[in-house]
Amino acid sequence: MSNILLAMSGGIDSSVCGMLLIDKGFKVQGVTYRTYDSVSKGCMEKETGCCTVESIMEAKHLAEKLGIEHTIIDLRAKFKETIIADFVNEYLAGRTPNPCVVCNSSIKWGQLLKIADELGCEKIATGHYAQVKHENGRYFLSMGVDLLKDQSYFLWNLSQEDLSRTLFPIGAYTKPEIRMLAGEKGFVKLSQKKESQEICFIPDDDYRRFLNENEPDKIKKIGEGDFVLADGTVVGKHLGYPFYTIGQRKGLGVALGEPYFVTKIDAESNKITLGKRTELEVDTVYITKVNLMKYAKIPESGMEVDVKIRYRSTAQKAIVKPTENGLMIQFSGGVSAVTPGQSAVFYEGTDVVGGGVIDRAICSGIEPEMRSV
């Protein structure tokens, strides 16, 4: 049997992964990485969320109970240079980042495979709700059996090499089944453990505070700007363009008699355009930094797919076509609040065809960019 390097967070999903692998006869080695000190300046008295000392020690103790070797890796410097830097820079560019996507490809898989090679492990395993398939010489993701927990959206940027060496043991199970398995193995407390939903390095979910703490001089220099309507009419003041995202309605601090949303962010002029819900509708989206999975290329004539423009969005019918710098996605109907910097992931049934980073969006052949960056 192969040696498997298991990424252990201290949570139920990765822990049950270890149990399943051991039951199948694999030799498992556990690794937990420290990516961020989640205590915020003046924000909290103790660490919360994932990647904390507490969660790392829980992973270590679980590894001991499972009888497997366990290693703790400090990746805080690497995490700061890549994930934190990208997160801040994207907001400063007037875009909305997707740190989990960047972290998966550059930190989790990027570092795990290196560690696996050092430890003589052929493959790695994680507690993601997804599945890997291999057909026609291509490795690609497929949705996890539990569609409510499916995490394929966050994994679209994994390479063929990454996928060829990856196991997702819980991808064929539902969350209730995973909890039941933990209980049956005697880990009753673990089976009842709550999940962490926030961004690991912003456990209080206040990214405005985070930006102010990490780039105070740049944020201060940007300063306040104008809220404007599509015709240029100034209707109020905002705190600075990095603090807003396309589709945002709450927290704008302006009263216009009916709901208005952020429809455009102009980083150059520090102006934010507000509009009615209908002004968020687009039908064509351009994406860059494309990674294809199921097929090596998209036909010039296009391909029918289902596209998700955010994790919790419902997939929409569309045709995807190659462009000089990426792909163009033409939706069969309008989609709302398409946000540059976020990921567009396209599927064929439950299989991931590929994904990319949203660059801009247009409506009915008219090409006002949703964000000027």
For 231-251, the pLDDT digits (tens) are 999 999 999 999 999 999 999
Are the beta carbons of 6 and 14 closer than 8 angstroms? Answer: yes
Confidence (pLDDT) at 195: 74
Asked whether residue 76 carries a pLDDT value surpassing 60, the answer given is: yes
Q: For the chain, which residues make up each domain, given as ranges?
A: 3-191, 223-275, 279-372
| Active-site residue, from 17, 50, 51, 103 | 103
| Average pLDDT rounded to a whole number, residues 99-112 | 92
Confidence (pLDDT) at 364: 55
Separation in Å, CA 373 to CA 82, 211, 226, 340: 20, 18, 17, 10
Asked whether residue 89 carries a pLDDT value surpassing 80, the answer given is: yes
Confidence (pLDDT) at 199: 80
Confidence (pLDDT) at 41: 45
Separation in Å, CA 371 to CA 266, 273, 281: 6, 10, 14
Separation in Å, CA 96 to CA 87, 242, 283, 356: 8, 9, 20, 14
The Cβ of residue 153 has, within 10 Å, a number of other Cβ atoms equal to: 25
Banded pLDDT at 141 (limits 50, 70, 90): very high
Are the beta carbons of 179 and 191 closer than 8 angstroms? Answer: yes
The pLDDT tens digits of the residues spanning 249-265 come to 999 999 999 999 999 99
Backbone angles phi and psi of 10, in degrees to 5: 95, -5
**HSE value, Cβ hemisphere, 13 Å, CA-based, for 312:** 2
Pairing of strands 316-322, 303-308: antiparallel
Residue 299: burial class (beta carbons within 10 Å; 0-12, 13-18, 19+)? exposed
Model pTM score: 0.90
Question: What CATH number labels 279-372?
Answer: 2.40.30.10
Q: In which region does residue 94 sit, left (phi positive, over 0), alpha (psi from -120 to 50) or beta (all else)?
A: left
Confidence (pLDDT) at 52: 73
| Average pLDDT rounded to a whole number, residues 15-39 | 90
Closest CA to 127 of 184, 177, 96, 167: 167
Residues 342, 359: Cα–Cα separation, whole Å? 9
Closest CA to 294 of 330, 345, 348: 348
Pairing of strands 166-167, 123-125: parallel
Q: Which CATH class is domain 3-191?
A: alpha beta
Torsion angle of the four alpha carbons 308, 310, 314, 319, in this order, in degrees rounded to the nearest 10: -20
Asked whether residue 44 carries a pLDDT value surpassing 70, the answer given is: no
Kindly state the DSSP code that residue 122 receives in the 8-state scheme.
Answer: S
Confidence (pLDDT) at 272: 97
4: three-class secondary structure by DSSP: strand
Q: Which two tokens stand for residue 363?
A: 């409506």
Confidence (pLDDT) at 370: 39
The pLDDT tens digits of the residues spanning 186-202 come to 998 888 887 766 688 88
Asked whether residue 40 carries a pLDDT value surpassing 60, the answer given is: no
Banded pLDDT at 371 (limits 50, 70, 90): very low
| Average pLDDT rounded to a whole number, residues 150-175 | 97
Between these two residues, 2 and 208, which has the higher pLDDT value? 208
Confidence (pLDDT) at 373: 30
On whether the 223-275 domain is CATH 2.30.30.280, my answer is yes
Torsion angle of the four alpha carbons 165, 146, 31, 87, in this order, in degrees rounded to the nearest 10: 90
Q: In which region does residue 294 sit, left (phi positive, over 0), alpha (psi from -120 to 50) or beta (all else)?
A: alpha
Q: Which of 22-26, 175-179, 191-195, 241-245 has the lowest mean pLDDT?
A: 191-195
- Computed over every residue of the chain, the mean pLDDT equals 91
User: Among this protein's residues, is 51 annotated catalytic?
Assistant: no
User: Among this protein's residues, is 200 annotated catalytic?
Assistant: yes
Q: Which ranges of the chain would DSSP assign to H, the alpha helix?
A: 12-23, 53-66, 76-79, 85-92, 99-103, 109-119, 160-164, 175-184, 188-191, 207-214, 216-222
